[in-house]
Structure 1
Amino acid sequence: MAEVHITPIPGVVEIFPKVYPDNRGYFFESFRQDWLEKEGITETWVQDNQSFSQKGTVRGLHFQRAPFAQAKLVRVISGKVLDVALDLRKGSPTFGKIYSTILDAEKNNLLYVPKGFGHGFSVLEDAIFVYKCSNYYNKPAEGGVLWSDPALEINWMVDEPIISEKDQEWPTLAEFKNLTGGGL
């Protein structure tokens, strides 16, 4: 069974699967729907994604607008990342708050990020990042919040971030809030 941690931001859940090591290596269940169902989460997963990123890369903070909004279940299969979920839900008492955790291939931990959140990560060690999505990617529905917005106070834990041009052009949280009338 897995150990499930409820985070300070409602809806965001961290999961630590039980790992069974022996002299041959190890075994663990990397996903079980009942882990989430016990927390009232009943997503239908329709897409799996995988990326490789070198140490120092920062990706995010991304989201998909309705009706293409996506929940994500994220983990690394090699390396280590700082994973960040930003609450962008209109009217949420934790709007603009972040939850961050280190996803580590040695811990095999996962993070569930609900719809209505911006998501991003920084790469602390070269990493292969995998995630399930509850909806298909739709380019016109893509959005983001500026990763370096000082109001978010995110310590990405990298000295010289490698960032895409697109991720440098997203609005700040305040601009996002004004553009959307208060959130997603």
Structure 2
Amino acid sequence: MPLVSVKRLEIPDVMLFQFKVFEDNRGYFTELWKRTEYLANGLPYDFTQVNLSYSHPFVVRGLHYQLKPSEQGKLVYVVKGRVFDVAVDIRRGSPWFGRWVGVELTPGMALWIPPGFAHGFQAIEESWFLYLVTKEYDQARERCILWSDQAIGIKWPNSGKAILSEKDSKCPPLSQAESNFEYP
């Protein structure tokens, strides 16, 4: 079984997976996605698109989400490097609305961010980041929330050195962000 552990975070819909990495003198091998194993551990989704990003140290990407009916769940991995990965609950009526959870991800770990959450990360070092998403990218329904929104209060590891795209630097705060997600 490639999954070693499954941990529900402080917002229990967000899950951290650690999987078995088989290492030898050549390098390593692992199974990143095996449907039956993830289904058995509470992830009842399939994926329609796979994305890869490369980020220099201090780059912040996010906080991104897509409105219904194009809402995306994301299973994310660090292929190489280290990132601080964040999920923010944007489901109206949720007991965790506006709260965030964050974990440092390295190879051998995956984080599940369900639909109804904004997602972002900061590269701690040069990083290759893989996203498996449940629905295809839909530019018309793409939205974002300001990464540094004080009302959310994310504790980014290197906020003073953050490198952002122009688009991400102009996202609205959560109080002004469009959302059509309801809890549960």
Q: Normalising by the residue count of structure 2, what TM-score does the alignment of the two structures yield?
A: 0.91
Query: Offset at 1:150?
Result: 1.1
Per the alignment, residue 152 of structure 1 pairs with 152
Alignment of 1:106-125 (within 5 A): 108-125=108-125
**Residues of 2 paired with 1:126 and 1:61: CA distance?**
19
Q: Does 1:94 align with 2:96?
A: yes
Query: Offset at 1:21?
Result: 2.0
Letter in 2 for 1:145: I
Per the alignment, residue 49 of structure 1 pairs with 51
Query: What do the CA deviations read for 1:142-179 (whole angstroms, capped 9, x no partner)?
Result: 00111011122212112311111111111112222xx5
**Residues of 2 paired with 1:31 and 1:80: CA distance?**
20
Is the 1:50–1:128 contact (alpha carbons within 8 Å) kept by the matching residues of 2?
A: yes
Per the alignment, residue 135 of structure 2 pairs with 135
Per the alignment, residue 76 of structure 1 pairs with 78
Alignment of 1:156-171 (within 5 A): 156-158=156-158, 159-171=160-172
Q: What is the total number of aligned residue pairs between the two structures?
A: 180
Q: Helix, strand or coil: the match of 1:37?
A: helix
**Residues of 1 paired with 2:121 and 2:91: CA distance?**
19
Query: Offset at 1:182?
Result: 8.0
**Residues of 2 paired with 1:181 and 1:52: CA distance?**
30
Is the 1:85–1:113 contact (alpha carbons within 8 Å) kept by the matching residues of 2?
A: yes
**Residues of 1 paired with 2:86 and 2:133: CA distance?**
16
Letter in 1 for 2:162: P
**Residues of 2 paired with 1:25 and 1:136: CA distance?**
33
**Residues of 2 paired with 1:60 and 1:48: CA distance?**
17
Letter in 2 for 1:167: D
Letter in 2 for 1:118: A
Is the 1:91–1:182 contact (alpha carbons within 8 Å) kept by the matching residues of 2?
A: no
CA RMSD of aligned residues (A): 1.7
Q: Helix, strand or coil: the match of 1:125?
A: coil
Identity %: 39
Letter in 2 for 1:141: R
Greater Cα offset, 27-36 or 115-124: 27-36
